[in-house]
Amino acid sequence: MEIGWKRRAEELVDHALAEDWAWGDVTTQALIPADAKGKALFLAKSPGILAGIEVAQLVFARVDPSLEFHALLRDGHRLERGTRIADVEGSVGSILRGERVALNFLQRLSGIATETNRYVEAVQGTRARIVDTRKTTPGLRFLEKYAVRVGGGQNHRVHLGDGILIKDNHLAALRARGLDMKAAINLARKNAPHTLKIEVEVGTAEEANQAAEAGADIILLDNMPLEEMRRAVKEVGGRVLLEASGGVTLDNVRSVAETGVDLISVGALTHSVKALDISPEMEA
């Protein structure tokens, strides 16, 4: 994982542990002797792409620094049912107190990496790159976008300061003041840092042409029918980057990619992904 992630990850882990331990672990306290030692294995219960192993390790380190966590695989490894992912050894009570939080991170991030990889594989052989959106779990964005990269996708804007994206609501607000798309792009070019690219959302090939003529760097084709998308690619492709967005699924992503767009943004990578099935098993 990238340099500088640890402090942010520690904050998320500490918050998750505090949430889980609001009133203590009464079950473990009632049943497990304080000096009990043991080992737990983490196994994949379904195929997928591993992501979040360092976060899981961090969870157990925050619970009890004396625990020994052994990552058997690295993020990006392709899992099969029954694959051993990691083991943790030491205080049984500490293992039990940390396992759910570790799994929550590991399962969700692996689910995102797995789903992203499905989309990436679906568009292989085309020019299209799969990118994410800002439709992320509040507070978990940097981890979820990391998982997208593990799955072979790329990140769109990480935050609102990461690039200019003039959407339909921005244009509607400006039209109320008598400004058109060209004026909006000129205003953005004048007032924003010169290092930022300007992307404009459009709904038709004609609007895509207008945005390209007005100097947009990237044009987002929003919920555009395939035929209209092909027309937009024919008219402005090569002059600017074209991004398809809206209503993209695994069933239609290949068809979208074959229109010739450069990018395909998919909110489902993070906003409604299914967690990968991973299970901890205590050794007898």
Which DSSP string corresponds to 233-269? HHHHBTTBEEEEESS--TTTHHHHHTTT-SEEE-THH
Instruction: Tell me if residue 115 is catalytic.
Output: no
Instruction: Tell me if residue 258 is catalytic.
Output: no
Q: Within 10 Å of residue 123's Cβ, how many Cβ atoms?
A: 19
Query: Which residues, in sequence order, are CB contacts of 50 under 8 Å at separation 6+?
Result: 44, 73, 74, 75, 76, 77, 78, 79, 85, 110, 113, 150
CA angle, corner 42, sides to 40 and 43, nearest 5? 135
Query: Choosing from 6, 134, 135, 141, which is the catalytic residue?
Result: 135
Query: Choosing from 222, 231, 243, 262, which is the catalytic residue?
Result: 222
Q: Within 10 Å of residue 73's Cβ, how many Cβ atoms?
A: 16
CA angle, corner 203, sides to 170 and 210, nearest 5? 80
Instruction: Tell me if residue 201 is catalytic.
Output: yes
Instruction: Tell me if residue 180 is catalytic.
Output: no
Helix ranges (H only) for the chain are 5-20, 26-31, 53-63, 92-122, 141-150, 168-175, 181-191, 205-213, 226-236, 253-257, 268-271
Instruction: Tell me if residue 135 is catalytic.
Output: yes
Query: Choosing from 167, 175, 239, 274, which is the catalytic residue?
Result: 167
Whether the Cβ atoms of residue 42 and residue 86 lie closer than 8 Å to each other: yes
Active site positions, annotated: 100, 135, 167, 201, 222
